Amino acid sequence: MGRKNRRAGSESKPVFGNSTVTESHPDGEWFVRKLTGSSAIKTYRCPGCDQEIRPATPHIVAWSADLPEGAEDRRHWHTPCWSNRGNRRPRGGK
Ligand SMILES: [Zn+2]
């Protein structure tokens, strides 16, 4: 017998609760959490547009579900920037 039983709890869902969903994207699986404005108390920088996300702005927090350290590397996105992430066009646009 190789491995010992791990504690069942260690591989269960993350502690973020039911507001976090898993989304599949071309670059892998992502945990996505929607923040309401009331819980957004800091200014973040959106990696999609490189603009600030002001406090009290509802937005998205996303992190890789594929990387073990993903939860420590969460990114804050404007909601539309996250939505457009997968279908950004190589040219045109602006
Ligand atoms: Zn943005």
Q: Which residue ranges make up each domain of the chain? A: 16-86
Find the 55 Cα to ligand 1 centroid distance in Å.
14
Q: Specify the pTM.
A: 0.70
CA 9 to chain centre: 23
| Dihedral sign (CA 7, 29, 60, 49) | positive
Find the 60 Cα to ligand 1 centroid distance in Å.
10
Find the 71 Cα to ligand 1 centroid distance in Å.
20
Reported as a pLDDT band with limits 50, 70 and 90, residue 41 is confident
Tell me the residues surrounding ligand 1 (ion) with CB < 5 Å.
46, 48-49, 78, 81
Looking at residue 88, what is its pLDDT?
56
Tell me what the mean pLDDT of segment 33-61 comes to: 91
Looking at residue 93, what is its pLDDT?
46
Find the 13 Cα to ligand 1 centroid distance in Å.
28
71 within 8 A of 63, measured Cβ to Cβ? yes
Residue 6 has pLDDT above 70, yes or no: no
Reported as a pLDDT band with limits 50, 70 and 90, residue 10 is very low
